[in-house]
Amino acid sequence: MRTRLSAALAVFLVMMMPAMAEEAVLLHAAGSLRAALSEVAKAFEAANLGKVQPKFGASGLLKDEISAGAKAEVFASANMEHPQALAQDKRSGPVVLFARNRLCALVRPGLEVTPAALLDRMLDASVKLGTSTPKADPSGDYAWEVFHKAEKIRPGAYATLEKKALQLTGSPTSPPAPRGRSVYGELIAQNAADVFLTYCTNALAAQRENPAQQIVQLPDALAVGADYGLTVLNGASAPAYKFALFILSADGQRTLAKHGFAAPALPQ
């Protein structure tokens, strides 16, 4: 009887192994990482290291989903705070800085803007200023950092910018971009905003689709950088850890650099 049970168990395990092997790494990642980490995931799969099932979105919303019990294994955030909150709640392991970004201004065609004149344009009542949504999306938080810096240059600027900022992306109710298109480029093209504060990588992607749109660097006094944090959730599979290490590998870091990110783990 014991032999029959052992044989039956062996058959069951053999039948289950292919299904287990096909389980994909569950990746939750910032929307600004869509192009870069999609390419990293393809390379990971091409190396027969496993499959990756990504979910891209606003980092704050993804963190809230994970905290509420959503199944996830690797979390790649556009800031350090959201993954650190998961680590502090003992939901994940350590947080690693794996990429850097910075804020730029994406500007509609025909509007004359230079780095030196950017603050004047942002404060201009006739100029529509677009941002993402603070707290839900780190991009919005970084935009508010710009507003605080503007206050030091011109007292009263913070209140003006906070009041006029149009939070067009990053919230649960924000309309999605057309598939395969930049939401920022589309919003500028639709005249929803004249100037949009977003990541420089997002601005580059938008400009590739809309060459007439301008990218204006923030002057040093307004410049804001973005540190991206990576963590692996408790209970993650072995392939999930392999994928996190793959992102940190030279190949993964080169892919991030190719998409405009500063890659801190890339060999000099």
Question: What pLDDT, on a 0 to 100 scale, did the predictor assign at position 268?
Answer: 63
DSSP tag of 124: -
- Do 246 and 204 belong together in one domain? no
Decide if pLDDT at 4 tops 80.
no
For residue 136, tell me if it sits in a domain: yes
- Do 34 and 122 belong together in one domain? no
Question: What pLDDT, on a 0 to 100 scale, did the predictor assign at position 112?
Answer: 95
What are φ and ψ of residue 247, in 5° steps? -60, -35
Q: Pick the more confident residue, 14 or 53.
A: 53
- Do 120 and 173 belong together in one domain? yes
pTM for the model: 0.88
- Do 115 and 159 belong together in one domain? yes
Range of the domain at 203: 101-223
82-108 pLDDT, tens digit each = 999 999 999 999 999 999 999 999 999
For residue 1, tell me if it sits in a domain: no
- Do 158 and 168 belong together in one domain? yes
Task: Quickly state the pLDDT bin for 175 (edges 50, 70, 90).
Answer: confident
DSSP tag of 20: H
CA distances in angstroms from 10 to 1, 3, 103, 230, 239, listed in the order given: 14, 10, 56, 38, 24
Domain count, the chain: 2
Decide if pLDDT at 17 tops 70.
no
For residue 205, tell me if it sits in a domain: yes
- Do 219 and 134 belong together in one domain? yes
Angle separating helix axes 157-164 and 138-153, nearest 10 degrees: 150
Q: Kindly tell me the burial class for residue 17, based on how many C-beta atoms sit within 10 Å of its own C-beta (0-12, 13-18, 19 or more).
A: exposed
Question: What pLDDT, on a 0 to 100 scale, did the predictor assign at position 265?
Answer: 76
- Do 64 and 128 belong together in one domain? no
150-164 pLDDT, tens digit each = 999 999 999 999 999
Q: Which uninterrupted H or E stretch holds 12?
A: helix 2-22
For residue 17, tell me if it sits in a domain: no
